[in-house]
Amino acid sequence: MAGSITFYGTSAAIPSVNRGFACIGLSDENAGLVLLDCGDGALRNLMRYGANINSISEILITHYHSDHVTGITQVIETMGIRKRKFDLQIFGPPGLKEYFATIQKITSVASKREFKVELTEVEPRQVIRFSGYSASTFKMEHSLPCLGYRVTCPDGKIVAYTGDTMLCEALKSLGEEADLFVHEATYLHKDLELAKPPKHSTVLQASIAAKAAKAKKLMLTHVSDENETPELMLKEAKTEFQDVRIASDGLASEI
C-alpha cells in the first residue's frame, strides 16, 4: 500500500493495557519504514503488527521523555541480532548524541552490529531529507524541548505530527492543509487545568488546531485510557472538526 501510516503505539505517558507508548510508522512501496518516535517497549508492537524491523530506515524523535524515545535501544539490538547491514538514521532535538552515547557506554547496545547508527541533531525551522521523504521541523510547547515534524511523503502526501505539545502558534504552520494531522490529545477539555502544567493538549484544542490549519483529516493520539473514552473524545472533537478519528494500536490506513 503506497503512502500508508500505522500506529504502533498510541498511549499517553500513563501506562495502559490497551495502548503501547508512542510509535508511528510511515511506509511507501518505494521506500523503507520511517518511525515517528519510538517509545519504551515499541519493539513488541512493531513485531505484533507486522513490521519488518530491518526495514526501518529512519527514526524521527520528537523529544526525550521515555514514552517517546527509550524503545530505540531494543530496536537496534534486534537489528544487530538479525544481521542488518545498512545504516540506520536517527533524527532528534539537540541532546541526541549525548543520549545515545550514554546508552552505548552503559549497555554496549548491539556492540557487534554490522551497521552504523547515524545521529543527526535538528533544530526548529530546519528541513531534512531521507529515503524519498522530506520533513520540516517546528518548535512545539512542552515541558521538554520538543519538535513537531511536517513530513512530505514520496507520493506527495503530507503528514503533520505534533509529538507532545500544548496549544501554540506553530501548530498552524505545522498542520497547514496537511493530508493528515496527527495531534496529541492527552486530556478532555474538562481537565484543562491538568493539561497545563505538563503542557499537553486537550481534545478540543487539537480539533481547534486542525481547523485553524485547514488540515484535511485529524487523527488523535497520545490517549490516556484512564481519563478518556472514544465516545467522549469524538463528541468533543467534532464540535470544531468533523473528519476526525482516534488512533489505536495496530490501526493502519492510507494517508
50 contact partners, CB below 8 Å, separation of at least 6: none
d(CA 136, CA 147): 10
> Would you give the distance in Å from CA 198 to the centre of its chain?
18
- Contact by Cβ (8 Å): 199, 143: yes
Give CB contacts under 8 A, 24+ apart, made by 79-84.
Answer: 79/53, 79/54, 79/110, 79/113, 79/115, 80/110, 80/112, 80/113, 80/114, 80/115, 81/110, 82/53, 82/54, 83/114, 84/54, 84/113, 84/114, 84/115
d(CA 169, CA 130): 27
Catalytic annotation, pick one of 37, 67, 164, 249: 67
The burial of 167, by beta-carbon neighbours within 10 Å (0-12 exposed, 13-18 middle, 19 or more buried), is given as middle
Q: What are the φ/ψ torsions at residue 177 (nearest 5 degrees)?
A: 50, 30
Q: What is the DSSP letter of 161?
A: E
β-strands 56-60, 88-92: how paired? Answer: parallel
> Would you give the distance in Å from CA 251 to the centre of its chain?
14
> Is 67 tagged catalytic?
yes
4 contact partners, CB below 8 Å, separation of at least 6: 26, 27, 28, 252, 253, 254, 255
* Residues with a known catalytic role: 67
